Each structure stands twice: as structure tokens, then as C-alpha cells.
Amino acid sequence: MRLLVWLAFAALVYLALRSRARAMQENLRRAAREQANSQANAQAGGAGPFAQPQPHSAAAENMVACSYCQLYLPASEAINRSNDHFCCEEHAQLHAAGVPHSTAPHSSAPHSPSNPTE
Ligand SMILES: [Zn+2]
């Protein structure tokens, strides 16, 4: 009968150790899994190589045309005068003075017949 008691005690110790070992293993596995999950989340949600913030470039800016010479320029760089946009202060003044753009004097023609040599 004493052998049976020892066997029962040994079985109890064995089961206790085994359950404790299994719990420790589960803890380790859970910790490893949580670590992997956190790493995956950091890769997916964080600033990964595929996460490209889209900056506001000048090309995406609203473009307006100069009311005097019809030159297109970003709205932030245009000069606004009473619902009109101008590329420069001079054109705003010329437009206000009523000077048409076609008669504006050009200092140099792009295709002059005479070719001065310098
Ligand atoms: Zn202009």
C-alpha cells in the first residue's frame, strides 16, 4: 500500500510540474506572439517603406491666369486686385490703367530680321 501512496504522490508531483511547465510554455508562446503582433502592427501601421505622405506640391496648387498677359502662375504667388489676378505689380497697374497687353512695348523682338553681332 505504501508503494501506491508514493506512486500517487509522484503522479501528483509529475502533473503539477507538467502543468506548471505547460503554463510557462504558454506564457512564453503568448509573449512571443504578442511581440510578433506588435512588430507586425508597427510595420503595417507605422511609417513603413510603403507609407508615403503626400506633400502639397506646387503642381497641385490652384493656378490662376494673369488678367493682363494670361500667364499662368500659382494662386499664392499671384497679385489679387478686385477679382483679377496678376503675375506682377506692373501688370496690375497696367491693367488698372487700361493699357491693353498687345500694345505694350517690347524691348526686344524674339525673331528680329537683323542679327546684331556683339
Ligand atoms: Zn502678367
The domain locations on the chain are 61-97
| Mean pLDDT across 60-67 | 89
What pLDDT is attached to residue 106?
54
> From ligand 1's centre to the CA of 79, what distance in Å?
10
12 — pLDDT class (breaks 50, 70, 90): confident
Residue bearing the bigger pLDDT, 21 or 77: 77
> From ligand 1's centre to the CA of 36, what distance in Å?
60
| Mean pLDDT across 85-96 | 96
Decide if pLDDT at 105 tops 60.
Answer: no
> From ligand 1's centre to the CA of 107, what distance in Å?
16
Provide DSSP, 77-116. TSEEETTEEESSHHHHHHHHHT--STTSPPSS-TT-SS--
> From ligand 1's centre to the CA of 95, what distance in Å?
9
> From ligand 1's centre to the CA of 97, what distance in Å?
14
107 — pLDDT class (breaks 50, 70, 90): low
